[in-house]
Structure 1
């Protein structure tokens, strides 16, 4: 069907009529997308079935990656590319007068993630399938994504992101695989045969219905699965005539509460109800997933004690940590194993990735919330804690502070990161720096006790999407220069190094970048009414809005540049287009104020004719994966300026690097390893070192107000936020002003001078095209080690112990 354009056209036209009852001229682009998507899904079904059959028949060990987020982006283009049939489809469509890119653009970005955590999970699934590894994802089928970001008068406004409005052509509902998840109720104990058994009674049942999405490997027959769970009520057929008013309303309340579990990604947890809902989501994910995994395992392997040899369960950050007590519950309450046997199996099966040192993301659940909502799970956590603390007391008698800091239950809270460490056989960070901080600081006591558990797995990105798909022009140039071996082995990009100074390659790279910048400039003009110069430096800062990401530092540089131009109208600088994108959490008022500040500054600068268009500021609203695929190939500068020690790794930095942008960044996360790879001369690092930041946190000694009084540039910038230079009287940036002058938790002012120096060096370097393009080549050439293929191989060999399976 897809081997030749004529057979494709014939099949497509027939399917179009069957689905929509209309000819090609009468159908919309959305109709054509649904038609092609359904054809592709059916096309992969044979290999999808064959993959699952072979895993089952061979008894191969399989990985299940549990994550609250899978930021997939659009799947049609990547699936066509991975299947090797995009050219055929494009040619067939061209004969029919259809633009394939316009059809691909009809697909909504799946609302299954927010930022780097979810995109990493998506890259990992792609790499597992492309490397012939038996690995699957387990997540939640959110009806609405995080939110759709609207900008009204410069303010972020959140509206529901109903990405499933037209359905999802890639998913297959598996009603026959539905499982039950239980909340609330009580636990009763009974003795039987000299053994105490526990029964969860009077619980509130929730049905978890799976929707499977195929994960297609690159140019192979492997099709793994992403299983997404949807929460549905357990109400069957009710005779409404026999329901009184009270029972009817209770039923409606139950149905509403049940469906809310899979309704929104990260519901607001500022209220008791919000906290309960988040905890419900986390348990819903792990309970449904583990029940399904164990059921499948038992059909192939009758001996439950073989579980660690056949199954690897990986926890992506702390959200799915309830997998530890849930697996214990299943093994003891349903399989009849002793505590000791169940604990051995659990810890050998589960591994954990930590993604942050930020206290806000390490998760601590109030016991008062968890205990009534998950009574049996809390009993098991309490027992884990009792046994663990008893062993700590034997090892460290009298060291109460140490034991309290390592305890799973302490001060009225359940410490989820501690539970993850205790309940797994492997704990990894996601960059060398991050893993070092975990071992030496955040988790030092755990590391000191069990050093064998801790390891590093530096993050990676899939080059198939972020280079080959996002930047076909650059892909062609690389293939023409060094061949195609890097497609299968991205580390072979290093073969570009001998061409780093080649004028012919420089010319081609410049043309590719110019094309990408022109494409982005057209979109900015169309969607925002801002005319930007493709010959200016495209300085890009796209990531979640957060104080530690330091969008403020970037804004302050813009304000300083603008001040200099206003003071000297005849001054000439290297023209800049500053591009921002990112969402602020709905309840994160400081981050939302920063969004407003960016728009306020942009409004003034973009309309000031006296600076002769030397600076433009653009904020890309509702930034997502598809926006990144457009922006990253066009970027000249990659802003990776988080406070040193705060960013665990970063993956945006790798995407920019792979597309030839030059990084300006701190000594943070994977920036350090990038600098080691490309050489310090091909990256612009600035600011405090991680050890300096940590020393300030521990010992003090930094006073932001002193810098305010000492540096006139800083004083001018901060004063301009509150004295009416940029803002009307009804706009208040005092929260930003005082957060910096009184505390400056993330050292924005401390790093300002160093950042300005680095930006000046960039401006000077950009004027020397040969020097700039040489740096760009070195970045592309050394980006292969940051492919997620490398990362996944390290996980497979070092943690999961899974082998490649070639699908016949």
Structure 2
């Protein structure tokens, strides 16, 4: 949009006065941020309305991305960038003695996700809008999100993430678009004009209230919508008569149970109450989203029999998989469509993205829980399964074992991934290796049964946030070198790779990285009182804490390196600073123990003057999107060290690569495709091959004890976990010790030597700064392939059958 500094200043002063009756010099920083956010949202409102109207008028096919998480982070800076007015606003605010940087830092991260799944969804809706695809997000509005992490004496402590405490300037509550979601009850068969229908009686009704957030496309007129649902009681549920009798908890019981649905992300589901709450959440936002879509669609005048021609729903992982049965329920029970027609419409509308090969992440619900909470939905799934089993027997007569493996309901469990596969027209993996494993191993029965359904769509990241927004200095330099076409055509970054031999470009890229590292070192000194050398190798592993991501391999190597320095303080190594950032699920005890181990090792190393500052370890508290934006641009080494075949894709690897970090990784997930782009010479590969891992998983024969007994370095660090040498109780890390010497299911000890050798290669190469910078430039230039703009273009063309729409 076009706006002058004078016009903006006038608008901003008026907005601040109208909202808070304050002059600029008297207003608080929070008030100034809220006024700016409100004004930016107002600037986007015209195009938001225009976009909705044009989609409706032209009858464009629209995409709805259903996800349990949307880890959108802060929106002020990205919205200013996408509107094309950030420089103007920054200059205008400076003339008013207001710092835009300070206002951007005032914004809290939206508590709408945890890890890669939610960040991917955020990148995708950004790319959908920036490409101009008619598409929207559909998810949950969590009151407290996941949690805010505090580190106390080295331990993770979870406190509520009250991100909505000051409200959310970007959202608009749409009470008029509310829908009713029904739980429990009894399905009752009803004869209607010779047709058998089902109605739910004695159900628990909950109101789903949508909150809409504009999703602003990059320098175009498209403004799509992220719709998030909040649970509210249908009526005023406070019973004064009961309260006055002293039955306080009963008086508010219903309201409390309702509000719990949209209270926190991923409540503990180890007990049945937690399982019910999680399933409630998933059905709640899925049902509300489908109702909302169908209500809008019916107003268009098109026939529901043509729904799949005008609507595409992408199921992001198994959380919204219940959409298959819910869409069938509405079409059959409420719209009185025949089963076969309804099934054709449902499968034509829905597509499913699988994000894992870990069995625990392929959701299964106990039949007794599912049937109790969603009785009619369970009946429909039973019927879907009955018909599907019949199809299997037609193709494979008497193959009872195949039926058992493929059945949607089996062993007292409802298998949501199976439901999503059967009820969708497309099933995609998220990296080439991941899809290969799905097709040939984990979901082989289904890929043989539905050979045309399976496809690959390698994940991507939005380069607008992860380069243009978070690394302004590098962005400016790239543009100076190759022009700005790459901002809208990210594959044009390849032109930058062609400059890798230019000594001046190498020098400047090194200077930018060092400047970024200095800023991170300053932050670490301020927040943690740890002195960090910006000239040291910044080796960074920031991601969700899980055993297969192998943070423990990283910290064991650090312990080994520390041992070598203690044995020889004059050991000739490049100084290292290791950064970790990760949250553990509150009930994941092994992961929480790993956090304690990292912090314990950090305390010991950082306070040991005998190693002459050659080694530092920093655990960055409360890892989140806004912190990632500060960290990723500073990395020399990107730790992507999951056990081969266990990481579906990864997107952190792409963000680091785009900012000039060199990948230290296994050939797992999207690391394989990064390797295809940059080759052995521009990354550091280690670890077991895919075939080695799959062979061990299939046939066994792995003995972690063998490595303990034959490798003195491994034995030493493992013994240190339990011998008191870390300065804590000998029982503190016993679970880690036992897991590594017991099953070591992620082959940490097997890959230890290979990992150490790769780290030694890093040490040698880093000493040649000119060569190192050349490798960084190649990685930056080759990263354009991994922009989510490219990924969404593939989804749009090959799954959704949609195309970009220009908003006039």
What TM-score do the two structures reach when normalised by structure 2?
Answer: 0.99
For the 8 Å contact 2:507–2:770, the answer to whether it is kept is no
User: Is the contact made by 1:2 and 1:88 (CA closer than 8 Å) also made in structure 2?
Assistant: no
Query: Is the 8 Å Cα contact of residues 497 and 779 (structure 2) preserved in structure 1?
Result: no
Q: Give the corresponding residue for 1:173.
A: 173
Deviation at 1:397, TM superposition (A): 1.5
Structure 2 match to 1:420: 420
Answering whether residue 26 of structure 2 is matched by residue 16 of structure 1, we say: no
Q: Which shifted more, 1-10 or 605-614?
A: 1-10
Partner Cα separation in structure 2 for residue 708 and residue 240 of structure 1: 67
Contact 2:662–2:779 (8 Å) recurs in 1 = yes
Greater than 6 Å deviation, 4+ residue runs: none
Partner of 1:69: 69
Residues 746-805 of structure 1: CA deviation (Å, up to 9, x unaligned) = 000000000000000011000011211111111011100000000000000000001111
Q: CA deviation at 1:684?
A: 0.7
- Asked if the contact 1:501–1:770 (Cα under 8 Å) also holds between the matched residues in 2, the reply is no
2:154 touches 2:599 (CA, 8 Å); kept in 1?
A: yes
Matched, 1:161 2:166: no
Cα distance in 1, alignment partners of residues 15 and 195 from structure 2: 60
Alignment check: 8 A CA contact 2:175 2:209 kept: yes
CA distance in 1, matches of 2:97, 2:239: 54
Question: 2:644 aligns to what?
Answer: 644
Give the drift of 1:88. Answer: 1.0
CA drift at 1:243:
8.1
Question: Matches of 2:369 and 2:415 in 1, distance apart?
Answer: 13
Give the deviation of 1:728 after TM superposition: 2.1
SS of the residue 1:263 aligns to = coil
Partner of 1:389: 389
Matching residue of 1:96:
96
Q: What residue in structure 2 maps to residue 763 of structure 1?
A: 763
Give the corresponding residue for 2:283: 283
Give the drift of 1:692. Answer: 1.2
Take 2:152 and 2:521, find their aligned partners in 1: how far apart are those partners? 22
2:751, 2:102 → 1: CA distance? 44
C-alpha separation in 1, matches of 2:758 and 2:645: 19
CA 676–26 in structure 1, closer or farther in 2 if over 3 Å, else same? same
**Closer, same or farther in 2 for the Cα pair 1:203/1:247, shift >3 Å?**
farther
- CA offset at residue 572 of structure 1? 2.5
- Residue 465 of structure 2 is matched in structure 1 by 465
Q: Given the alignment of the two structures, is residue 305 of structure 1 paired with residue 305 of structure 2, yes or no?
A: yes
Alignment of 1:554-565 (within 5 A): 554-565=554-565
Secondary structure in structure 1 of the residue aligned to 2:168: coil
Other structure's SS at 2:9 match = helix
- Residue in structure 2 matched with residue 58 of structure 1 by the alignment: 58
- Kindly indicate whether the alpha-carbon contact (under 8 Å) linking 1:2 and 1:8 is maintained by their aligned counterparts in 2: no
Residues of 2 paired with 1:248 and 1:782: CA distance? 62
Q: 1:247 and 1:602, CA in 2 relative to 1: closer, same or farther beyond 3 A? A: closer
* Secondary structure of the structure 2 residue equivalent to 1:721: helix
Residue number in structure 1 paired with 2:256: 256
Q: Which residue of 2 aligns with 1:44?
A: 44
Alignment of 1:428-577 (within 5 A): 428-577=428-577
Deviation digits for residues 249-290 of structure 1 (CA, Å, limit 9, x no counterpart): 545211111110000000111111100000000000110000
TM-aligned CA distance change 1:331 to 1:245, over 3 Å = farther
Q: Deviations over 1:107-150 (max 9, x none)?
A: 10000000000000000000000001001000000000100001
What is the RMSD of the two structures over their aligned residues, measured on CA atoms?
Answer: 1.3
Conservation of the 8 A alpha-carbon contact between 1:660 and 1:779:
yes
Please list, as runs of the form range in 1=range in 2, the aligned pairs for 1:658-807 lying within 5 A after superposition. Answer: 658-729=658-729, 732-807=732-807
Paired residue secondary structure (2:663) = strand
User: For the residues of structure 2 that align with 1:494 and 1:780, how far apart are their CA atoms?
Assistant: 8
Is residue 243–residue 251 contact of structure 2 (8 Å, CA) maintained in 1? no
Q: Give, in whole Å, the separation in 2 of the partners of 1:323 and 1:501.
A: 52
Write the deviation string for residues 557-587 of structure 1: whole angstroms up to 9, x where unpaired: 1111101110012222100000000100000
Distance 1:727 1:627 in 2: 30
2:238/2:255 contact within 8 Å kept: no
Please give the alpha-carbon distance, in whole angstroms, between the structure 1 residues aligned to 2:246 and 2:180: 26
Contact 2:546 2:584 survives alignment (8 Å): yes
Q: Give the conservation status (yes or no) of the 8 Å contact 2:191–2:197.
A: yes
Distance (Å, rounded) in 2 between the aligned partners of 1:100 and 1:497 = 33
Uncovered stretches (5+) of structure 1, i.e. residues with no partner: none
- What's 1:213 paired with? 213
Question: Alpha-carbon deviations, 1:296-353, whole Å to 9, x = none?
Answer: 0000034111100000011000000000000000101111101111001000000000
Please say if residues 513 and 633 of structure 2, whose CA atoms lie closer than 8 Å, have aligned partners that are also in contact: yes
Normalised to the residue count of structure 1, the TM-score between the two structures is 0.99
Q: Deviations over 1:545-564 (max 9, x none)?
A: 11000001110111111011
Displacement after TM superposition at 1:497 (Å): 2.6
Query: For residues 737 and 238 of structure 1, do their structure 2 counterparts lie closer, same or farther at Cα, with a shift above 3 Å needed?
Result: closer
Instruction: Measure the CA separation in 1 of the matches of 2:532 and 2:34.
Output: 35
Distance 2:239 2:671 in 1: 62
Contact 1:708–1:714 (CA under 8 A) maintained in structure 2: yes
Rounded to whole Å, the distance in 1 between the matches of 2:427 and 2:251 is: 43
The number of aligned residues is 808
Q: Return the alpha-carbon distance in structure 1 between the equivalents of residues 14 and 63 of structure 2.
A: 39
Q: 2:152 maps to what in 1?
A: 152
Contact 1:721 1:727 in 2 (8 A): no
Q: Which residue of 2 aligns with 1:270?
A: 270
**For each residue in 1:659-706, what CA deviation from the matched residue of structure 2 results, as whole angstroms up to 9, or x when unmatched?**
000000001000001001111211111100122111101101110001
User: How far 1:392 sits from its partner (Å)?
Assistant: 0.9
> In structure 1, how many angstroms separate the alpha carbons of the residues matched to 2:658 and 2:567?
38
Q: For residues 377 and 493 of structure 1, what CA distance do their matches in structure 2 show?
A: 48
